[in-house]
Amino acid sequence: MSKEIIDFLDYLRIERKMSDNTVESYKYTLNKLEKESKKNLILCNKNDLKTILITNKKSEKVKSINHEITILRQFFSYHNKESVVKDIDLLKLEKNLPKYLTKDEVERLLNIPLVTPLDYRNKAMLELIYATGLRVSELVNLKVNDIDFEMCNLRVLGKGNKERIVPIGSVALKYNKIYIDEYRVKLLKNNLIDELYPNNFGRKMTRNGFNFILKELKKKCDINAYLTPHVLRHSFATHLLIGGADLRSIQLLLGHENINTTNIYTHIVNRELKDNYIAFHNRSRKGK
């Protein structure tokens, strides 16, 4: 890894106070691009970078390439070489609507058999993430004291270390209280950690660990729909909007900085309304 990349990562970490996960993402991307360029990244010219990115198009998604372009812009700007990337434009994204589970699929996922301490931990996690719409990184970083059972809310540290308070429903509170009071200590295996949900070895749960749990539960619950932690977040937001919640409230619950990010869920609801109209209205189809 070149000195220029190291200096830039230090700047992100120290000056811009980016999270460790974000800095690692930048590090991975810059290292990857430097290897593909076969020379120090800072020595690349505009044609070098375009060649790398065009080559990547064959195997990477447009969103991933745009992520690389965004990081390159910041990297070269930091080193006062903005002109190198000035004419490299972001690719146009296809507007794919977020995937989400139906309410029936959510019910099947949440109604897991409760036998072992791990079952109770998984139940508590699933109920909480669906009740609050947390990002998976926010979920695994929760501390025991972040849940206020008296006020029925949750303190969440989101992107950019911004804190928000999210209300929790009675069902999620109930299963998290049972889990904390009766089962959490059994999972710690004599380890001392503050995180609310330890992994199977009594250490801090990781995002990959939760992804694996979700993948296994998807099989057990016989859910055929695409399922990731972010799909649960989309399900939370979509079900709220369908139920009549206003967009501004959903924005605050999700921790979105920009209302336009939240606005994507209105397109899901509009599509669902149109589909229902076509399916059920007796004069909606051709030939009537």
What DSSP element (H or E) covers 148?
strand 147-148
**Residue 128, burial from CB neighbour count under 10 angstroms (0-12, 13-18, 19+):** buried
Residue 230 annotated as catalytic = yes
For 151, residues 6+ apart whose C-beta sits below 8 A from its C-beta are none
Verify whether residue 135 is a known catalytic residue: yes
Tokens for 76, please give them: 């070269």
Instruction: Assess contact for 107 and 225: CB atoms under 8 A.
Output: no
Q: Write down the catalytic residue from 159, 174, 203, 207.
A: 159
Look up residue 87 and give its amino acid: D
Catalytic-residue membership of 13 = no
Candidate list 220, 230, 274, 281, residue with the active-site label: 230
User: Can you tell me which residue has the tokens 């979509």?
Assistant: 238
Catalytic pick from 27, 121, 135, 234? Answer: 135
Catalytic residue among 184, 233, 234, 239: 233
Strands 147-148 and 163-167, sheet pairing: unpaired
**Is 281 known to be catalytic?**
no
Catalytic residue (one of 27, 121, 184, 256): 256
253 token code pair: 């619950």
Residues identified as active-site? 135, 159, 230, 233, 256, 265
